[in-house]
Structure 1
Amino acid sequence: MARLGTDILREELRRRVAEGHAGPHEVWIRWPRQLGDVVFALPFFGSLQASWNAEAAALGLELRWVAVGHAIGAALFAEAAPDFIAESLIEKGGVGKPDPWHLVRRWRKAPPVCVINLSQSVRLALGAWMARVPVRGGIADNHLSLLYTHPFKYRDLPVHLARRYEPLLAQLTGNRHLQWVRLGAHNLGGHRGPELLRAAGWTGEPYVTLAFGTRGYGKRWFPEHRTWPELARRLAAEGFRSVWLGGPDEVPLGKELAALAPGSIDLTGRTSLPEACALQEAAAGTVAIDTGLAHTAAATGRPTLTLMGHSPEPLIAPVGPKAIAIRGSAVDSYPGESEGFETHGSVAHRVHPERVVGLLKALLAEAGA
């Protein structure tokens, strides 16, 4: 049985103090590739960070937390507060990936006290092993267990993705309890988000953010040129302005949908991830399909309604205190329901905008209470 990570951390920090090492005392975390998976790892991260920061503070020290990952994952922390994530290293693929030799050179004088690999990356795990980082945690499913002091199984487990980190948290802190982490401008930054919204014509009225885009066609809300504009019109009738959010890939569709919903605001492709999250935090609520922005919205604690395709909610539903996931019937409820448009296997198309508005209003009432 591996020694508890907290004990190793404490001993390592004491050794460094005794040797006159002033820091920085870094903890590196390589995040998953997909935005939703990054958000699922946040309860683990927040629980670990709270425990280990307290251990360091008891010795009069501070830990410096470093994020590394793909452009989608690590970009969530690109504008973060220093006490949350001090540095975000975004991989660009190919030569942009961490070179183990470069990491060893960087870590020569002061290796991190811990490197945690929450992805399938070999480079970071190898670099940490070569640099003799004291605590090395990572996913054991990719046959890298020998590089880790604290390996754990992650894939193909019958529990929600967020809970799959419980065994690793237990190894590192002695506690399996995951604590939800609220995202927003206080820790992620993104302070230009409201400025972008005002520049686009927002005058302070309540708004709902709409996250409509994804590369997974089976997750989308077809027929999109009917469902989303109808939802925006119904929200307007309830006193809410609609704000369209999405990435660069969704810009053409966002423009088309906004044109079909006069008065709505299209910020598709115009925000960073932290800015989009700040806008979701300030919104009355969010309606989304099963995409990354559904997970960031839920993580802000604001009312979030996610329209599901065939993805199983028990494993991947957004995590948040005011988040619900809904789907249409598994079979057509009456003849001709799917005629005239492509569904791409999605069942979200069987959910009517009226039901979405009704459920969102219930969430908003709960949030108001």
Structure 2
Amino acid sequence: MHYRILVVAPAWVGDSVMAQPLYQRIKQYRPDAHLTVMAPDWTLPLLERMPEVDATLRNPFGHGALKLGKRWQLGRSLKRKFDQAILLPNSIKSALVPWFARVPIRTGFVGESRYGLLNDIRTLDPKALPMMVERFAILAEPGGKPLPRPVPAPHLTIRPESQQAALKALGLDLDRPVVAFCPGAEFGPAKRWPARHFAELARRLSSQGYAIWLFGSSKDRGETEAIARMAGVPLVDLAGRTTLAQAIDLLSLAHLVVTNDSGLMHVAAALERPLVALYGSSSPEFTPPLNERAEVVTLDLECSPCFERNCPLKHFDCMEKLGCDQVEAAIARTLTKPPGTPASPYIPVAAV
């Protein structure tokens, strides 16, 4: 008999990637576990590339939507189908379906005072668990047990036929080594390296023989179009032209990824691509790229990380003053770092 676990997954792409070490630990501890992940449609391509996930369940509820009646209906349809539920979001709403389903063990952090809805309640110690991935992974442990470290890194499984299908669908080739730029950040502008900096870096890398592919959703088209316009060299703008599944497969072919702190950064890290991650308003100590060959570049200013969507001081120095020379130096480090090199703490660079 399988031990049936339902995981209520996060809605963000990056958080979905960082949940995989939890799934790895579950399978390590319970080889008999059958793992079903309840997630929004847009994250399903990630779950399809995680071998630990046995089944998925579509989460039909949009961000902020209560829809109590529909949650009750879904919960009742799942009654007696699971032995345990693990909730990664901290909201009351995310706890309703497992409670309506009367799942015997309902595990998660207190969050929004979810007493009663959960019966295996954990209290978060942010100092003991400074990283998001650790906060997810510890939910595989019995209550009160410390987190065994190191936490395994996410790893997405890619099929060569899917890579070839994505190349064909987008009319792409690999005649030159590809550098992928991920200039978007769903959270807000304060996490985005300016378009003119990306454009300058594109010029430099293009002159060295690299092909530049720009990735993002349709919401990032304004940013990618500005980069292409200012760069003045041939670029491939894929923003809004790919599905997430195609973006994952194409990113897996990149020689290097240069990215803001975003969902695609975590995807690229889980694909084990050499990458340079640019941080301004967010913290590499909280959500770093989980990849031994990653280089983090941050000015580490007194005002950062502020975790704001827009710069509250209006100057945006944390990204404006982060120049191409600093990023090129990080590129040189990551491309000469052999696979298997132990991860090292990030080193802030000096503002110029």
TM-score where L is the length of structure 1: 0.76
Q: Among residues 281, 295, 302, which one is paired with 1:324 in the alignment?
A: 295
Tell me by how many angstroms 1:88 deviates. Answer: 4.3
Compared with structure 1, are the counterparts of its residues 82 and 296 closer, same or farther at alpha carbon in structure 2 (3 Å cutoff)?
A: closer
Q: Among residues 276, 282, 295, which one is paired with 2:247 in the alignment?
A: 276
Residue 42 of structure 1 corresponds to which residue in structure 2? 20
Residue 117 of structure 2 corresponds to which residue in structure 1? 147
Tell me by how many angstroms 1:279 deviates. Answer: 1.9
- 1:232 correspondence with 2:202: yes
In 2, the alpha carbon distance for the partners of 1:101 and 1:331 equals 47
In 1, the alpha carbon distance for the partners of 2:211 and 2:90 equals 41
Residue 336 of structure 1 corresponds to which residue in structure 2? none
Asked if structure 2 preserves the Cα contact closer than 8 Å seen for 1:136 and 1:150, the reply is: yes
Asked if structure 2 preserves the Cα contact closer than 8 Å seen for 1:152 and 1:167, the reply is: no
Residue 205 of structure 1 corresponds to which residue in structure 2? 176
In 1, the alpha carbon distance for the partners of 2:229 and 2:163 equals 22
* CA deviation string 1:105-145 (max 9, x = no partner): 3224x421221110134345233234332321112121113
Compared with structure 1, are the counterparts of its residues 311 and 356 closer, same or farther at alpha carbon in structure 2 (3 Å cutoff)?
A: same
The 3-state SS of whatever aligns with 1:242 is: strand
Asked if structure 1 preserves the Cα contact closer than 8 Å seen for 2:198 and 2:227, the reply is: yes
Compared with structure 1, are the counterparts of its residues 104 and 315 closer, same or farther at alpha carbon in structure 2 (3 Å cutoff)?
A: closer
Residue 363 of structure 1 corresponds to which residue in structure 2? 334
The 3-state SS of whatever aligns with 1:366 is: coil
In 1, the alpha carbon distance for the partners of 2:47 and 2:241 equals 16
The 3-state SS of whatever aligns with 2:90 is: coil
Residue 75 of structure 2 corresponds to which residue in structure 1? 104
TM-score where L is the length of structure 2: 0.79
- 1:183 correspondence with 2:156: yes
Compared with structure 1, are the counterparts of its residues 263 and 161 closer, same or farther at alpha carbon in structure 2 (3 Å cutoff)?
A: same
In 1, the alpha carbon distance for the partners of 2:68 and 2:256 equals 36
* CA deviation string 1:302-337 (max 9, x = no partner): 1111111122221222222212211136289xxxxx
1:50-129 matches, within 5 Å, as: 50-52=28-30, 54=31, 56=32, 63-72=33-42, 74-77=43-46, 79-80=48-49, 84-93=53-62, 94=65, 99-108=70-79, 110-129=80-99
Residue 191 of structure 2 corresponds to which residue in structure 1? 219
In 2, the alpha carbon distance for the partners of 1:286 and 1:28 equals 33
For structure 2, list consecutive stretches of 5 or more residues without a partner in the other structure. 304-312, 341-352
Identity score, percent: 23
Residue 250 of structure 1 corresponds to which residue in structure 2? 220
> Which letter does structure 2 place at the counterpart of 1:89?
R
Root-mean-square deviation (Å): 3.2
- 1:132 correspondence with 2:95: no
Tell me by how many angstroms 1:174 deviates. Answer: 6.6
In 1, the alpha carbon distance for the partners of 2:68 and 2:218 equals 22
93-102 vs 212-221, which moves further: 93-102
In 1, the alpha carbon distance for the partners of 2:92 and 2:206 equals 50
Q: Among residues 24, 31, 38, which one is paired with 2:9 in the alignment?
A: 31
> Which letter does structure 1 place at the counterpart of 2:139?
L
* CA deviation string 1:6-42 (max 9, x = no partner): xxxxxxx4xxxxxxxxx7x642211123222222222
Tell me by how many angstroms 1:71 deviates. Answer: 4.9
- 1:170 correspondence with 2:145: no
The 3-state SS of whatever aligns with 2:19 is: helix
Compared with structure 1, are the counterparts of its residues 285 and 123 closer, same or farther at alpha carbon in structure 2 (3 Å cutoff)?
A: same
Compared with structure 1, are the counterparts of its residues 300 and 210 closer, same or farther at alpha carbon in structure 2 (3 Å cutoff)?
A: same
* CA deviation string 1:270-301 (max 9, x = no partner): 22223222222221121011111111111221
The 3-state SS of whatever aligns with 1:314 is: coil
In 2, the alpha carbon distance for the partners of 1:98 and 1:238 equals 58
In 1, the alpha carbon distance for the partners of 2:249 and 2:218 equals 18
